[in-house]
């Protein structure tokens, strides 16, 4: 079938519109048509359309605001070119009037054509409200035009925007939305379109507006959102992590990059929750080379696949074997060592004390000794709030690791420890467990109605670990600000609410061996501030290193390991 090139059609449109606008302009100015002027102007407009931004080839069906701007530039330029040649034959007022009318006419035609071609034929049987009338919200409104959702309202806290509209969609306040919802019952979907919003802000919006919506979704944060992808496809269900994330305000990424950039970084326990995230962060902050060490084949494989384009060196090894570990240090000569390898699951450690002592204490001792021997610049020990006045074996082993890190003779190596609480979503933590229990229909099991824990997102915790390490000079135990402790039963209730399965029950099972009702981050009140509010320093506990080495040797060989642990860490009160 014969088809006319649409670029030729564009020239025909220019000709027809030019004739119409000149006819109208001559008519209202009570003058006869001067065809040589019309022909000359038409020729200039066609040439301008060809040579300026290739206007003649613009697709009208894909017209954007930029397309209208191009039209304006093209035809204003044409006006400036032909004006000196025809002025005198025709009044300036007529020429200016015609040019303005022409520009209005042709852009209007382009808009109408684009609207007709792109008009949505999808039946809209659902309603959506967009919270946030900024760039993200406007982009989402455009994308929802071709979906089953009808955008009913924008909600925005800016009083200047309220009572205005975007493409005919009214912008209202939260208060006004609540009033409107009484008339329209509940809406199908609320989208929180504020990628830069704080967790506190998201939580406030969720709690205030949740009763009025069947579903609430949220755009990812600015760091996570993909600008080249459709925003509507990136919407995710609001999660407990979104409500609990803290986003420290004094995160200093420039400092972290200066610490990591162009360094060879060895990460032990690199396949675990913390180790793998630190590996990702080191990539982001331009480490020269990553050495990923883990004794789990699968965990090491998983993180290696994820970071394969960065070509990390992979070491499948246990930190307990000092000879092998020494060879790894000799081969790769790391500048920085981040020691995340540890057994951390409290009940499992209670049942495997010997293995925990070997892996946690001897593994840490080996890693520190190798770091000192091979003149590593910085050694970072990942510790835990469970090391403070420990009531379980895991916490006590980590406290001994802290003692060794603080009291060993470091030579040129700066050795620091970083202590923090639970991280959201890590392996063995309550959130993955609760999610699995909800998926299976419940009940959710909580050990005690009053039990509380500190929580932080894994990426946030790991960034602060690197920031603390970067300011350490050696011998410090840094404490990360974990915010306020959260009651686990409240966390369980919130996760049930978010799942929409309100029939799921909560069952209390009693405290497990070695489990505290609450965790602490300080052994005593001796702490020092740093230049960052999110990071403080615990007071140093002195311990003769020769005695500590001897005590560790005795611990390995002791039949009653609990008694020896208590001797090394007098504040250890074992709860079983």
Cβ contact 216:206 at 8 Å: yes
Cβ contact 382:364 at 8 Å: no
CA distances from 1 to 5, 8, 11, 53 (A): 13, 17, 22, 31
Strand partners, 191: 130, 217
Secondary structure (DSSP) of 51-109: HSTTGGG--GGG--HHHHHHHHHHHHHHHHHHHHHHBTTB-HHHHHHHHHHHHHHHHHH
In this structure, the chain runs to a length of 576
Strand partners, 444: 506
The SS3 assignment for 228 reads: coil
**Backbone phi and psi for residue 256, each to the nearest 5 degrees, phi listed first:** -60, -45
Cβ contact 280:260 at 8 Å: no
**Backbone phi and psi for residue 267, each to the nearest 5 degrees, phi listed first:** -120, 120
185 included as an active-site residue: no
Cβ contact 315:291 at 8 Å: yes
- Which residue of the set 71, 386, 494, 564 is catalytic? 386
Strand partners, 292: 267, 314
Question: For 104-198, where are the E strands, in sequence order?
Answer: 126-131, 149-155, 165-166, 169-172, 187-192
Cβ contact 131:192 at 8 Å: yes
CA distances from 525 to 198, 518, 520, 528, 539 (A): 31, 17, 11, 10, 8
Tokens representing residue 345 in the block: 């699951």
The SS3 assignment for 234 reads: helix
Q: Which residue has the tokens 């990360």?
A: 480
Cβ contact 227:196 at 8 Å: no
Cβ contact 186:214 at 8 Å: yes
CA distances from 81 to 34, 43, 410 (A): 18, 11, 79
In whole angstroms, what is the distance from residue 476 CA to residue 468 CA? 10
In whole angstroms, what is the distance from residue 36 CA to residue 47 CA? 17
In whole angstroms, what is the distance from residue 147 CA to residue 150 CA? 8
Tokens representing residue 432 in the block: 């993955």
Which residues 6+ apart lie within 8 Å of 301 measured at CB? 271
The residues annotated as belonging to the active site are: 386
């Amino acid at each position: 079938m014969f088809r006319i090139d649409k670029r030729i059609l564009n020239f025909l449109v220019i000709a027809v519109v030019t004739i119409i606008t000149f006819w109208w302009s001559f008519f209202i100015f009570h003058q006869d048509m001067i065809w040589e002027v019309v022909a000359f102007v038409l020729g200039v407009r066609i040439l301008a359309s060809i040579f300026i931004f290739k206007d003649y080839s613009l697709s009208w069906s894909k017209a954007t605001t930029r397309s209208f701007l191009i039209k304006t530039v093209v035809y204003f330029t044409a006006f400036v070119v032909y004006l000196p040649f025809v002025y005198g034959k025709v009044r300036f007022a007529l020429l200016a009037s015609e040019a303005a009318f022409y520009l209005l006419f042709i852009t209007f035609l382009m808009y109408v054509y684009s609207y007709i071609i792109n008009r949505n034929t999808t039946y809209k049987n659902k309603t959506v409200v967009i919270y946030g009338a900024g760039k993200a919200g406007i982009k989402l409104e455009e994308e929802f035009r071709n979906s089953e959702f009808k955008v009913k309202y924008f909600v925005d806290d800016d009083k200047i925007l309220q009572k205005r509209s975007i493409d005919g969609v009214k912008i209202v306040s939260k208060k006004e939305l609540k009033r409107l919802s009484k008339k329209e019952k509940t809406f199908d979907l609320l989208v929180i379109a504020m990628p830069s919003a704080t967790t506190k802000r998201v939580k406030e919006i969720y709690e205030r507006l949740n009763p009025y919506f069947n579903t609430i979704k949220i755009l990812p944060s600015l760091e996570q959102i993909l600008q080249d992808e459709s925003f509507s496809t990136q919407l995710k269900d609001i999660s407990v992590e979104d409500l609990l994330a803290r986003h420290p305000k004094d995160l200093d990424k420039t400092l972290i990059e200066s610490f990591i950039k162009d360094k060879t970084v060895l990460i032990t326990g690199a396949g675990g929750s913390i180790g793998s995230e630190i590996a990702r962060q080191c990539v982001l902050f331009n480490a020269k080379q990553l050495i990923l060490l883990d004794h789990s084949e699968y965990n090491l494989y998983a993180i290696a696949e994820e970071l394969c384009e960065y070509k990390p060196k992979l070491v499948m090894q246990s930190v307990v074997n000092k000879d092998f570990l020494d060879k790894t240090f000799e081969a790769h000569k790391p500048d920085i060592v981040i020691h995340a390898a540890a057994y951390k699951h409290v009940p499992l450690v209670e049942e495997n004390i010997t293995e925990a002592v070997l892996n946690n204490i001897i593994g840490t001792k080996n890693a520190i000794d190798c770091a000192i021997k091979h003149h590593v610049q910085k050694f970072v020990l990942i510790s835990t709030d469970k090391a403070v006045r420990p009531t379980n074996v895991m916490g006590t082993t980590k406290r001994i690791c802290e003692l060794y890190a603080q009291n060993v003779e470091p030579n040129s190596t700066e050795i620091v420890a970083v202590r923090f609480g639970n991280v959201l979503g890590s392996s063995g933590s309550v959130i993955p467990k609760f999610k699995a229990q909800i998926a299976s229909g419940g009940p959710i099991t909580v050990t005690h109605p009053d039990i509380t824990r500190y929580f932080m997102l894994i990426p946030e915790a790991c960034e602060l670990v690197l920031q603390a390490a970067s300011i350490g000079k050696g011998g410090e135990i840094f404490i990360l600000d974990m915010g306020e402790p959260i009651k686990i039963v409240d966390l369980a209730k919130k996760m049930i609410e978010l799942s929409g399965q309100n029939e799921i029950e909560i069952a209390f099972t009693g405290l497990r061996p070695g489990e505290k009702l609450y965790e602490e981050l300080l052994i005593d009140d001796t702490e020092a501030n740093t230049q960052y509010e999110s990071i403080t320093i615990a007071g140093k506990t002195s311990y003769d290193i020769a005695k500590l080495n001897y005590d560790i040797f005795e611990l390995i060989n002791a039949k009653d390991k609990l008694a020896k642990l208590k001797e090394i860490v007098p504040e250890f009160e074992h709860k079983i």
